[in-house]
Chain A
Amino acid sequence: MGGYTGEELTAIFLMQGFSGLSLFCVFLLMALGLAIIFGQMGVINMAHGEFLTLGAYITYLTSYLASDVWPFLLDYYFPVAIILAFLGTFILGYLVERFLIRFLYNRPLDTLLATWGLGLILQQIFRSVFGPREKSVVMPDWLMGSYQATDMVDIPLNGLMVVGITILLTIGVFILLYKSRWGIKVRATTQNRTMANAAGINTDRVDRLTFALGCGIAGVAGAAFTTIASTGPTTGSLYIVDTFLVVVFGGAASLLGTVASAFGIAQAQSILSFFLSGSMAKVITLMTVVIILMFRPQGLFASKVRR
């Protein structure tokens, strides 16, 4: 690393660190929903990326309406878009659980294949409706520009926005899962379905809502995603393999683990990519994760349970 002064190195680490932060946000936003669905229900949702894409397209549609039809709304559309993205993906998730996933509990490998098929179909629908080219949202003025931290470090506002949404959403999921009555029902259902049923929990309903909620979170993730990148039919699926690795690496049922592993993987990849080529940075990061998982299959955070 010769040739850089200490100050420059710090700046590099900060800037790369921040770009790593965006990647971290994308991973985490996707992983949150996945972690709920996989960690709590044991369902592998390979179509999760498509739910993110759907959320992004809903945001794009909202921004299109705001900029072309009602321009005076342009400054305010984003919160509305988040809500719509959540609702849209939540409803689709609900239907998918009702008509597909429900029949495949206890067959995790089959859910994997079926949801992969669902993902393919959704991608093709996106391609037919929105065209193969990537779409960008019209950004409101207040999201443009950047925050000048020092004269060498320069942080874009939209990036800060994404970080903000990610933090809020993570806290929200945490509260929902560990502090709410609903969270107790979800965890009860995960741990012992029969007992939960006997205790008067409508486990079918819990399943349906859990799955829909996981999908809804992906929708919000999609909305956030539009502020840092444009959306194409396969946008979400590009991240699905990495995100699954994030969830498994974190220890499937641990939210804290998911956050830590998303952060670690994103930062490692981003900082390495300054010194190596982008693809080698990704290869080395993912290889390391895979090798660690081979030695510690339960992931970073998992407790010893009596089997």
Chain B
Amino acid sequence: MSSPILLAVEDLTVSFDGFKAVDGLSLYLERNEVRVVIGPNGAGKTTLLDLICGKTRATDGSIKFKDQELTKMAEHQIVHKGVGRKFQTPSIYENLTVAQNLELSYPAGRTVFGSLFFRRTAAIQKRVQEIAEEIYLDEDLDKSAGLLSHGQKQWLEIGMLLIQDPELLMLDEPVAGMSVVERERTAALLRKISNNRSVLVIEHDMDFVKDIAHKVTVLHQGKLLAEGKMEDVQKNERVIEVYLGH
């Protein structure tokens, strides 16, 4: 717990055949901070998450997580370091039950032989149960995940990340397509889980952003446009121009 900075992104650039989706971006995330990234479509928000979790490789720049360079690491190694990523569309294992989904995400037996000789201990069962309660799915442990509602699938995916106890949790539009009630419960869930970890969220829903964000980062055309408290950012003229100007 030396440095308060958990994640340091510096001069990050990625180009796809000349098109720069993220362009010279720098961003610092502290421990236990909830940061929301906003910006119009095509601002490079999802690409930023892709770069951090290793799905896309950076053309230039560095990403340091706990002072370790992530840009050269394989995806699963980045996960092992403590970075969890939720995708925009719920990506869960529809043909497995909720319990199996959670259990597969439990950080044990991650090698081939580890998984072949994996034993389900009481501790693991207890942890699955706890997480299920936290994500409001303890009644549905035996249900096939494909049968859950859209909102429940989003929670399940968050639960699958929680069970790994990551130090950095990245969520891509966690409340998109949710009902009002589901939204509130998700916000409550996020506040609870951000107690002991940093969270990086992409979100469009401004009420939700206000509800959870410590700080907001605004991206535009792959570049940093503004950063700060929600109230300040909302008053920023360049931000207003980008959002309303066209």
Contacts and interface: CB of A to CB of B under 8 A. Distances in A.
Contacts of A304: 16-17
Contacts, number: 9
A194 B66 CA distance: 44
Interface string B7-42: 000000000110001000000000000000000000
Contacts of B21: 306
Main SS at interface, chain A: loop
Interface in A85-122: none
Nearest to A303: B17
A305 interface: yes
Contacts of A306: 16, 21, 56
Interface string A52-90: 000000000000000000000000000000000000000
A191 to B, nearest CB: 15
A289 B243 CA distance: 52
Interface string A291-307: 00000000000011111
Nearest to A304: B17
A193 to B, nearest CB: 19
A186 B87 CA distance: 32
Nearest to B21: A306
A306 B44 CA distance: 13
Contacts of A307: 56
Nearest to A306: B16
A304 B19 CA distance: 11
Contacts of B16: 304-306
A293 B17 CA distance: 22
A304 B21 CA distance: 14
A196 B219 CA distance: 31
Contacts of A303: 17
A305 B17 CA distance: 7
B55 to A, nearest CB: 9
Interface in A256-307: 303-307
Nearest to A307: B56
A298 to B, nearest CB: 14
A303 B18 CA distance: 12
A304 to B, nearest CB: 6
B57 to A, nearest CB: 10
A306 B47 CA distance: 10
A307 B21 CA distance: 12
B56 to A, nearest CB: 8
A306 B21 CA distance: 10
B59 to A, nearest CB: 10
Which of A303, A304, A305, A306: most chain B Cβ within 10 A? A306
B49 to A, nearest CB: 14
Nearest to B15: A304
B161 to A, nearest CB: 22
Contacts of B17: 303-305
Contacts of B56: 306-307
A57 B145 CA distance: 55
A304 B59 CA distance: 12
Nearest to B55: A307
A304 B17 CA distance: 7
A306 B14 CA distance: 10
Contacts of A305: 16-17
Sorted from nearest, which 3 A-B pairs have the closest CB atoms? A306-B16, A304-B17, A303-B17
9 contacts: A303-B17, A304-B16, A304-B17, A305-B16, A305-B17, A306-B16, A306-B21, A306-B56, A307-B56
Interface of B: 16-17, 21, 56
Given A304-B16, A305-B17, A307-B56, 6 more contacts: A303-B17, A304-B17, A305-B16, A306-B16, A306-B21, A306-B56
